Amino acid sequence: MKYLPLFKMPKPMKITGRSSSITNAFVNSIIPVVEPTEEQVKKALSVLDMLENHQCSYCGATATEWDHLRPLVLDKKPTGYISEIHNLVPACGKCNQSKGNKKWHQWMLSDAPLSPKTKAIPDIEVRINRLKDYENWSMPTHMDFESIVGKETWDRHWDNCEQIQDIMRKAQKTAEQINTKVVHAYENL
C-alpha cells in the first residue's frame, strides 16, 4: 500500500489571503440585520414550497443557514441590500460558499465548483422558478448608505478599510522575507 497519497500538506497561508474577509467585515458591520417574524418565515418557506421540507433552495440538501439571495457586496462595496427575510433563502453551506456574491441565477447554471448545474441537480428548473417566485414575493430593502451617512463619513470608512488592506500587503512582504530565511535555515540544519 502507498501511504504518501493519503497525506495532504496544509496550504501555506497568506496574510493577504484574508483581504476579502476584511472587506466583508467592513460591509457587514454597516448593514442592518432585521429579524423576521414567525409569519414572515412561514410565508418565505411557503413561497419556496418548503413548509414541510426545509432544504437548500439551490440544491435540495439539508439547509444549514440562510443565504443572501442578492449579494451584499460587489466590487468590494455594498450593494445597498440588507440582511432581512426578503433577501435570505435557506441554503446548505456548500452552495452558500460556492455562490459567494455571484448573482444566484447565473451561478446556478454555471460550471462553478459545487453549483447546482455542476452537481447535476435534477430539478434545477423547478428550483429556479421557486427562487424567481421568491424574488417577486416581496422586494427587499435597498438603501443608499453613502447618502444616509454623508460623503465624508462614507469615505473615511472606506479609507480605513484600504489602510488595513495596505498594512496586510506590507505584512505579507515581511512574512515572505521571514519565511524565506526560515526555510533556508531549515534546509541547512
- CA-nearest of 162, 172, 157, 186 to 31 is 157
Q: How confident is the model at residue 19 (pLDDT cuts 50, 70, 90)?
A: confident
pLDDT tens digits, one per residue of 72-89: 988 888 999 999 999 999
> Alpha-carbon distance 102 to 5, whole Å?
34
pTM for the structure as a whole: 0.81
> What is the Cβ-side half-sphere exposure of residue 161, based on CA atoms within 13 angstroms?
22
The whole-number pLDDT of residue 117 equals: 97
Cell of 48: 419556496
Phi, psi of 44 (to 5 degrees): -60, -45
pLDDT of the residue at 85: 96
Q: Residue 37 corresponds to which amino acid?
A: T
**What local confidence, expressed as pLDDT, does residue 18 receive?**
82
**Percentage with pLDDT > 90 across the chain:** 80
181: its cell numbers: 530565511
pLDDT in tens, 88-141: 999 999 999 999 889 999 999 999 999 999 999 999 999 999 999 999 998 899
Could you tell me the CA-to-CA distances from 19 to 75, 113, 137, 166 in Å, in that order? Answer: 13, 22, 35, 10
Q: Is 80 helix (H, G, I), strand (E, B) or coil?
A: coil
Residues 6+ apart with CB under 8 A from 49: 130
Number of Cβ within 10 Å of residue 99's Cβ equals 24
How far apart CA 151 and CA 157 sit, in angstroms, is 10
Q: 142 forms bridges with which residues in the sheet? A: 81
Nearest-angstrom CA–CA distance, 5 and 45? 44
Per-residue cell: 144? 443608499
- How high does pLDDT run on average in the chain? 94
What confidence tier does 1 reach under pLDDT thresholds 50, 70, 90?
Answer: confident
Greater pLDDT, 20 or 119: 119
